[in-house]
Amino acid sequence: MTRIDGRSPADLRPVRIEPGALAYAEGSALIETGDTRVLCAVSVEDGVPRFLRGAGQGWLTAEYAMLPRSTNTRTPRSASAGGRAREIQRLIGRSLRAVVDLRALGERTLTLDCDVLQADGGTRTAAITGAYVALRQALEGMDARGQLSGQPLRSAVAATSVGVVDGDVMLDLCYEEDHRAEVDVNIVMTDAGDFVEVQGTAEGTPFSRDTLDTMLELGWSGIARLLAAQREALSA
């Protein structure tokens, strides 16, 4: 079986990660997976939200938005800031917090801005994968400025999607596939092979435990390759 862009079911799209894509941010990365392009910026600011004041730890939060013409037809700015965007930015924030020891940051807040320049499916998982690289860069700067107490990173983290399209399980769905998928699973995993998030959704057709198992295996194979791409980008 061949996919609409010529890939086989277990193929990722080509991945390119450019660390330091922005001049002013403490950390940044531009990630491209196929035609999807997400610009990730990390800002380090003093202070923490009210609910953490005096707790002697830091905070990490994320924002996610799409440029109006990142999409095939124009999406009004107001629409791109709605419930879906909030759900995604909560996912990105949780995913990165799961691999960071917030106590090592001091009373500082790291804000991950993930702005989608072009959207061909998989923007939230690309954002997580790219944000990890931007975060590494920001943490190195904090380390150099003596702002860290201990090692803040517990593991690397990356994410991809898996889906069932016309009955076939496929890795890393592009927009066209995602649109037609019966089942869609977003998977976030660490380099220890553990899960940070699993979000599986039946779009109309409930799925069996066997299908879930197949999708989880395929997801891990993709994430392992994305973790390698992160390492390569960071060592370049």
Q: Which residues bind its own copies (CB under 8 A)?
A: 22-25, 28, 35, 39, 41, 43, 45, 63, 65, 67-74, 77, 81-84, 86-87, 89-90, 94, 97-99, 111, 113, 115, 117-118, 155, 185, 189-190, 192-209, 212, 216
Between 112 and 235, whose beta carbon lies closer to its own copies?
Answer: 112
Between 6 and 204, whose beta carbon lies closer to its own copies?
Answer: 204
Task: Find out whether 37 and 22 touch, Cβ atoms under 8 Å.
Answer: no
Sheet of 108-118: strands edge to edge? 15-19, 27-33, 36-46, 108-118, 59-66
CB of 233 to its own copies, least distance (A): 19
Between the two ends of the chain, the Cα-to-Cα distance in Å is 36
CB of 15 to its own copies, least distance (A): 17
Q: How far is it, in rounded angstroms, from Cα 130 to Cα 28?
A: 8
CB of 94 to its own copies, least distance (A): 6
**Beta strand 183-190 pairing with 195-202:** antiparallel
Q: How far is it, in rounded angstroms, from Cα 120 to Cα 123?
A: 7
Between 150 and 206, whose beta carbon lies closer to its own copies?
Answer: 206
CB of 136 to its own copies, least distance (A): 16
